[in-house]
Amino acid sequence: MSPGSLKDRLHERDRRVAELGVYEERLDLKEGDPIAFELLYSRILQSVTSAHEVARLVSASPMSRELGEIIFGLYTPEGDAVALSRGLLIHIHTMSRMIKWMIENDYQDDPGFNEGDYYFNNDPYIGGAHCPDQMIVTPIYWEGELVAWAGGLTHTPETGGSEPGGFIPFARSRFDEGLFLPCVKIAENDRIKRDLEILVERGIRSPIFWLTDNRAKITGTQMIRQEIKGLIEPFGADNFGKACREYIEDTRRAAKRRVRTVLFPGRYREVGWRGSVMPRQETLLHGPVELTVSTEGRLVLDYQGMSPAGRHPFQGTLPTIEGLVMNVLIQHLFYDLKHNEGVLMVVDLKVPEGSAGNPPSIFYPTALWGITYGAGLASGQALSRAYYAQGYREEVHATSALSCAYTAGGVDQYGRPFGAHNFEFAAAGLFASAVADGLDTAGVEFNPEGEMGDAEIWEQVLPPVYLGREIHIDGGGFGKYRGGNGVLSLYQVWGTDEIDVGGFGAAPIFSAPGLMGGYPAGAVYMWVGSRTNIRQLIEERRPIPAGEGEDPETPDFVRQVAATWELVHGHNRVGTPARPGDLFTAMTGDGGGFGDPIERDPELVRRDLENKVTTPWTARNVYCIAVDPDTLEVDRQETERLRAARREERMRMGIPAQQYKARERERVLCGDFPPPVARMYHAVLGASEVFQSAFREFWDLPEEWRMPDPDQLAQEMA
């Protein structure tokens, strides 16, 4: 065992890795007995997997129990991940950061580490993405020496913020987001401290989720601790420690080989977008990425040009973007490796300081971590292009859905205070790939095991009742392979007179871009109908709407129910009192499409029509397919004619790329941007000289050109 304090050991580890570029120089155990080496790893993996399976049963939160929003891991004494369960993969690295933060901040001396201690953290600047990401770690001791850490993380549906549900759509500072407990010891001698439980019981709306999630994490980490001690006993602590380090190095080497094998070296650029819809400050956020694939098998992801941090919740912390990138890489590149610190070692992340992916202080709110999500998805697209260049078409994919949902708080149907959001967006529309349609209602980027939970479970947690939960018709981006459609749910307020209903999501701009000619998925929105005549409709047995129907311009519910209807673009809505009988919708978002829609196989469109997830209008006008609306038979000849006509129309309308660029340059020169776009570029160009220089070069702008500030212009005009 290495001598010295954990802090010394951590610094030594950092020095060694920086100097040698490897985690462990020799794989003695692996080379000595490769089979025993794998067997030990399978036992470690089993320990974290078992913890994941059991712990979720303890929680009262549907996100842990039903949706698998929970993950467990084993860490070295210095805090590097050795093995991770399945689950909330975005948090591959967040618990690692928490452990290292405690070590760096001398927790070993005060408050001290002991067997049976459990430390809690939900501060995203230490580890995690936002206040609802709550982690617990416990040290594992062997013969008086700290030999490993076990950790568990859940995403909890309520945090005691200024609005219910954890996702605070209009947070202006950290203090709107709820109760933060940064690396606090919540249990000693395997017993939870009651005073800290009371803090939670009196501090948030639905303490049951937080407190049972804690029990789940303690149960799981105890299981890991017990199993690991059983493994150390015959193997010895030194050997065990050496094996853990070799697993990390083994992964690093395998990851490097994978990069060299399947990605074509080069530089790939993509951009992700998100919107901030803070009152009177509507703007877009810019999340560009440049991926460099080196011939040696390293990946560099550079986010130069990311929007600066601001007083809105659409930014993330460094651990967030780190987690998102690792999550993308694990799902699309390293899915079959040992998932640990070694994955991170082949990646360099460059996130500009002061940007919305690396805010300048901990006071910037991160409730919706929007642009880091956008940049993470853009990283996946860049990866797809590198796959494409190497010829691995089956791994090429567009972008998955954005996360959005409704939030509510008040008194529930059982007479208890509550606050939560509906997390059915964990099964939103997935990306189209270069070989297949995106899956409908199947997943989300941060957790590959998509699961929306049954409506009957959500109706126990949140009082509104579903009037419909349907596949969002034509939600996915059009394409040769269309994006997956998400969920569109219609709710009726019911069972309580005391409820606020809000929503969160993105600005009115697409969030899931298409790829190689595929369309992006549409922007999300939320309808709210108050003072409805639903009671009268029921009494008269007239039709009750179940969803949007085929015409989003005039949804079924707007046609059928007399009400004061409000359309909320971007889904962000402050929690607003609602009354029984009010109706509202929530969408989960949809996936981006791939390829030219007029190359789509008519049979796929016919199938979609049969399943009622597209419309005859779309078939004809987007896919140029002639289909009989009654029999769903495709007229091949007429389809060919429609497609030929569409190609001719494109030829007529198209202009050469240089001409297009020149035309757009004129718009740039005179500042012809919609205000949200102008705000975005004004902020980004002011914050990043590198990006400004690239922007100027691309558009060939004169030295004196300045991006106009639309707000200043507006003030001057006023």
Partner 1 sequence: MSIESRRRPELCYIDVGGTFTDAFIVDAEGEYVTGKAPSTPGELARGFFAAIGAAAESWGMTVEEVLRSLKVLGYGSTVVLNAILTRSGRTPGLITTSGFEGILLMERGKQTWVDLDRAARLHPMTHRHNSPIVPRRLIRGVTGRIDSLGREVIPLYEHDVRAAAEELVEARVDAIVICLLWSFLNPSHERRAAEIVRDVVRERGRQVQVVTSVDVSPMIRELPRVNTAILEAYTGDLARAAFQDMQGRLEERGFRGQLQIMQSTGGLAPAVYVKAVETIQSGPAGGVIGGRYIGEIYGFENLITTDVGGTSFDVGLVSEGFINVNREPAVARMLLGVPMIEILSIGAGGGTIARIDPLTGRLEIGPQSAGSEPGPVCYGRGGTEPTVTDADLVLGYLDPDYFIGGRIVLDAGSARRAIRERIAEPLGMSIEKAAEGIRTIADAKMRDAISGLIATRGFDLSDYHLLAFGGAGPSHVADYTKGLSLAGTMVFPFSAVFSAFGAASADYEHHYTRAVNVIVPPRASDEEKLALGRRISEAWEELRVRGSRQMEHEGFDRARIQFRPLAMIRYGRQLNDLIVTSPVDRIGSPADWDRLIEAFEQLYTRVFAVAAKYPQAGYEILEVGLAAYTEKIRPKLRFEAPGLSAPPEDAAKRLRPAWFEGGWQETAVYEMSRLRPGNELSGPILVEDPTTTLVVPPARRIRLDGYRTIWLEEER
Residues from 197 through 256 that contact partner 1 (CB under 8 A): 208, 211-212, 215-216, 218-219, 222-223, 227, 234, 250, 254
**Among 236, 543, 577, 629, interactor with partner 1 by CB under 8 A:** 543
Binding piece for partner 1, criterion CB under 8 A, among 7-15, 139-147, 332-340, 507-515: 332-340
Q: How far apart are CA 462 and CA 421, in angstroms?
A: 8
**Among 74, 405, 452, 707, interactor with partner 1 by CB under 8 A:** 452
For partner 1, the closer of residues 37 and 268 by Cβ is 37
The number of C-alpha atoms within 13 Å of 607 and in the hemisphere containing its C-beta is: 8
Bond from prior residue into 417 cis (ω within 30 degrees of 0):
no
For partner 1, the closer of residues 105 and 219 by Cβ is 219
For partner 1, the closer of residues 434 and 680 by Cβ is 434
- Write down the least CB distance from residue 426 to partner 1, Å: 7
**Among 2, 5, 46, 693, interactor with partner 1 by CB under 8 A:** 46
For partner 1, the closer of residues 317 and 492 by Cβ is 492
- Window 48 to 107, contacts with partner 1 (CB under 8 A): 49-50, 53-54, 56-62, 65-66, 86, 89
Residue 406 φ/ψ, nearest 5 degrees: -100, 155
- Window 165 to 204, contacts with partner 1 (CB under 8 A): 187, 190-192
What letter does residue 495 receive in the DSSP assignment?
A: S
Q: Which residues of 202-234 are buried (b: 16+ CB within 10 A; e: fewer)?
A: eebbbbbbbbbbbbbbbbbbbbbbebbbeebee
- Write down the least CB distance from residue 165 to partner 1, Å: 16
Q: How far apart are CA 544 and CA 208, in angstroms?
A: 35
Reported as type and span, the H/E element at residue 231 is helix 207-235
Q: Is 713 in the site for partner 1 (CB under 8 A)?
A: no
Rounded (10°) CA dihedral 58, 61, 62, 68: -60
Q: Is 261 in the site for partner 1 (CB under 8 A)?
A: yes
**Among 15, 104, 175, 335, interactor with partner 1 by CB under 8 A:** 335
Could you give the string, one character per residue 665-704, with x where binding to partner 1 holds by CB under 8 A and - elsewhere? ----------------------------------------
Query: What six digits make up the tokens of 663?
Result: 């035309």
- Max distance between CA atoms of the chain, in angstroms, equals 80
**Among 248, 285, 426, 619, interactor with partner 1 by CB under 8 A:** 426
Q: How far apart are CA 597 and CA 614, in angstroms?
A: 13
Which candidate, 472, 628, 477, places its Cα nearest to that of 550? Answer: 472
**Among 105, 162, 304, 413, interactor with partner 1 by CB under 8 A:** 413
- Write down the least CB distance from residue 135 to partner 1, Å: 16
For partner 1, the closer of residues 456 and 666 by Cβ is 456
For partner 1, the closer of residues 538 and 645 by Cβ is 538
**Among 137, 321, 377, 471, interactor with partner 1 by CB under 8 A:** 471
Q: Is 585 in the site for partner 1 (CB under 8 A)?
A: no
Residue 578: strand pairing partners: 499
- Write down the least CB distance from residue 194 to partner 1, Å: 10
- Write down the least CB distance from residue 175 to partner 1, Å: 28
* Residue 533 contacts residue 561 (beta carbons within 8 Å): yes
For partner 1, the closer of residues 440 and 590 by Cβ is 440
For partner 1, the closer of residues 346 and 452 by Cβ is 452
Q: Which residues of 577-590 are buried (b: 16+ CB within 10 A; e: fewer)?
A: ebebbbbbbbbbbb
Reported as type and span, the H/E element at residue 529 is strand 525-530
What 3-state DSSP class applies to 142? strand
**Among 469, 480, 643, 682, interactor with partner 1 by CB under 8 A:** 469
Residue 273 φ/ψ, nearest 5 degrees: -130, 150
**Among 15, 26, 257, 579, interactor with partner 1 by CB under 8 A:** 257
For partner 1, the closer of residues 215 and 311 by Cβ is 215
Query: What six digits make up the tokens of 234?
Result: 């015959």
Query: What six digits make up the tokens of 23?
Result: 């985690």
Binding piece for partner 1, criterion CB under 8 A, among 21-29, 302-310, 456-464, 516-524: 456-464
- Write down the least CB distance from residue 578 to partner 1, Å: 16
The site that binds partner 1 (CB under 8 A) totals a number of residues, namely 97
Could you give the string, one character per residue 611-650, with x where binding to partner 1 holds by CB under 8 A and - elsewhere? xxx-------------------------------------
**Among 457, 574, 604, 701, interactor with partner 1 by CB under 8 A:** 457
Radius of gyration of the chain (CA): 26
- Write down the least CB distance from residue 68 to partner 1, Å: 9
For partner 1, the closer of residues 426 and 521 by Cβ is 426
Residue 91 φ/ψ, nearest 5 degrees: -95, 25
**Among 235, 264, 466, 705, interactor with partner 1 by CB under 8 A:** 466
Rounded (10°) CA dihedral 680, 682, 684, 690: 150
Q: How far apart are CA 408 and CA 91, in angstroms?
A: 26
**Among 509, 544, 604, 694, interactor with partner 1 by CB under 8 A:** 544
DSSP conformation letters of 334-402: -TTS--SHHHHTTEEEE--TTBTTS-SSTTS--SS-HHHHHHHHHHHHHHHHHHHHHT-GGG-B---PP
- Residues present in the chain in total: 718
Could you give the string, one character per residue 290-329, with x where binding to partner 1 holds by CB under 8 A and - elsewhere? ----------------------------------------
* Residue 276 contacts residue 312 (beta carbons within 8 Å): yes
Residue 26 φ/ψ, nearest 5 degrees: -125, 145
What 3-state DSSP class applies to 86? coil
**Among 184, 465, 509, 694, interactor with partner 1 by CB under 8 A:** 465
- Window 116 to 155, contacts with partner 1 (CB under 8 A): none
Distances in Å between the alpha carbon of 499 and those of 132, 463, 505? Answer: 21, 9, 20
For partner 1, the closer of residues 177 and 556 by Cβ is 556
Q: What phi-psi label fits residue 410: left (phi over 0), alpha (psi between -120 and 50 degrees) or beta? A: left
Residue 530: strand pairing partners: 564
- Write down the least CB distance from residue 191 to partner 1, Å: 6
Binding piece for partner 1, criterion CB under 8 A, among 72-80, 355-363, 467-475, 660-668: 467-475
For partner 1, the closer of residues 78 and 424 by Cβ is 424
Could you give the string, one character per residue 13-42, with x where binding to partner 1 holds by CB under 8 A and - elsewhere? ---------------------xx--xx--x
**Among 470, 474, 582, 590, interactor with partner 1 by CB under 8 A:** 470
**Among 407, 441, 572, 614, interactor with partner 1 by CB under 8 A:** 441
For partner 1, the closer of residues 495 and 517 by Cβ is 495
Residue 154: strand pairing partners: 70, 134
- Window 486 to 525, contacts with partner 1 (CB under 8 A): 487, 490, 492, 494-495
Q: Which residue stretches of 553-628 are H helix?
A: 556-560, 602-610, 616-621
Q: How far apart are CA 488 and CA 471, in angstroms?
A: 6
For partner 1, the closer of residues 277 and 534 by Cβ is 534
Q: How far apart are CA 172 and CA 6, in angstroms?
A: 37
